[in-house]
A and B are shown apart, each in its own frame.
Chain A
Amino acid sequence: MGGKDFGPVNRRDHVRSEWDNRVDAVLKLMLDGRRFRVDELRRAIESLPEHDYMSFSYYQKWLAAIRVLIVEKGMLTEDEIAERLAQLREGATG
Chain B
Amino acid sequence: MSDSFKIGQRVLVKEGDPPGHIRTPYYLRGKPGVVETVHGAFRNPEELAYGKEGLPKKPLYLVRFLQKDVWPDYQGAPTDTVSADIYEHWLDADQ
A and B found bound together: yes
Name A residues whose Cβ lies closer than 8 Å to a Cβ of B: 2-3, 36-37, 39-40, 42-43, 46
| B48 close to A39 (CB less than 8 A) | yes
Q: How far is the CB of B36 from chain A (nearest CB, A)?
A: 23
CB-CB under 8 A from B49, the residues of chain A are 37, 39-40, 42-43
| B17 close to A2 (CB less than 8 A) | yes
Main SS at interface, chain B: loop
| A43 close to B21 (CB less than 8 A) | yes
Measured in the bound complex, the distance between the Cα atoms of B52 and A40 in whole Å is: 10
| B21 close to A3 (CB less than 8 A) | no
**B45 within 8 A of partner (CB):** yes
CB-CB under 8 A from B22, the residues of chain A are 2
| A40 close to B50 (CB less than 8 A) | yes
Q: Please name the residue on chain B nearest to A41 by beta carbon.
A: B49
CB-CB under 8 A from B25, the residues of chain A are 2
The interface size of chain B toward A, counting residues with CB under 8 Å, comes to 13
6 A-B pairs whose Cβ atoms sit less than 8 Å apart in the complex:
A37-B48, A37-B49, A39-B48, A40-B51, A42-B21, A43-B20
Q: How far is the CB of A1 from chain B (nearest CB, A)?
A: 9
CB-CB under 8 A from B48, the residues of chain A are 37, 39-40
| A3 close to B26 (CB less than 8 A) | yes
| B26 close to A2 (CB less than 8 A) | yes
Measured in the bound complex, the distance between the Cα atoms of B26 and A37 in whole Å is: 23
Q: How far is the CB of A36 from chain B (nearest CB, A)?
A: 7
The 9 A-B residue pairs whose C-beta atoms are closest, nearest first, are: A2-B26, A43-B49, A39-B48, A43-B21, A39-B49, A3-B26, A39-B45, A37-B48, A40-B49
| A36 close to B51 (CB less than 8 A) | yes
